[in-house]
Amino acid sequence: MESVDPSKTDFELMRDSKKRKLPWWKTPNAPIICKRIVKNLLRRMYAAAREDIELRKQHKQVTKKLALLNEFLDALRKRYLHPTLLDRGVLSVIELWLKPAANGELTNSQITRGLLRSMLELSGVTRTHLERCKVVEVVFALQNRRDEMHDNQRMASELIHRWARLRTSKCS
């Protein structure tokens, strides 16, 4: 049992008891933990995309990406992972997930919608992140596809406009 300091008022004692510990992502070990989480996640996401490509070549049902979609979207919602995700190349994995099949078949609309929405919420995207991959080209193609859902086209258009502003603001 903890000893009570007699010089403290009831209010101070109550306040001290309510103080919270730091969240784990603000501790000194957080960067190491984040890197490990992101590395494992991106490895699995890349493997799922490759497996779906192989399944599509064999004319089988492609479900690997869909099975991991919620986990991927949950990770993209966590703001404290954004810098590590971007530095580790999440945009390249998203590009691979959004890219249509070689035969022109579109990606599942649920995957496209979720990833576009997540990219709209992704903070810290810089010009160098965009230059390292071809996600801009894939999103631009989604914006201009006639058979793409209207909501997805609108989100793709918003991303393109944001990225264009990012590009022009850096050049000025």
Helix 135-144, helix 90-98: angle, nearest 10: 30
Q: What confidence category does residue 1 fall into, taking pLDDT thresholds of 50, 70 and 90?
A: very low
Q: Which CATH number do you get for residue 163?
A: 1.20.930.10
99: domain range? 26-168
Q: Is residue 3 part of a domain?
A: no
pLDDT digits (tens, 9 = 90+) for 122-142: 999 999 999 898 999 999 999
Q: What's the half-sphere exposure (Cβ side, CA atoms, 13 Å) at 58?
A: 9
Q: Is residue 114 part of a domain?
A: yes
Amino acid identity of 162? R
Compute the C-alpha angle 35/36/41, nearest 5°.
100
Per-residue pLDDT at 168 exceeds 90: no
Per-residue pLDDT at 21 exceeds 90: no
Judge whether 111 and 63 are in contact, CB under 8 Å.
no
Q: Is residue 48 part of a domain?
A: yes
pLDDT digits (tens, 9 = 90+) for 24-38: 777 778 888 889 999
User: Rounded to an integer, what distance in angstroms lies between the CA atom of residue 138 and that of residue 2?
Assistant: 60
pLDDT digits (tens, 9 = 90+) for 29-75: 888 888 999 999 999 999 999 999 898 888 888 889 999 999 999 99
Q: Is residue 12 part of a domain?
A: no
Q: Is residue 61 part of a domain?
A: yes
Q: Is residue 60 part of a domain?
A: yes
Q: Is residue 19 part of a domain?
A: no
- When divided into structural domains, the chain yields a total of 1
Q: What contacts 62, CB < 8 A, 6 or more positions away? A: 52, 55, 56
Q: Is residue 42 part of a domain?
A: yes
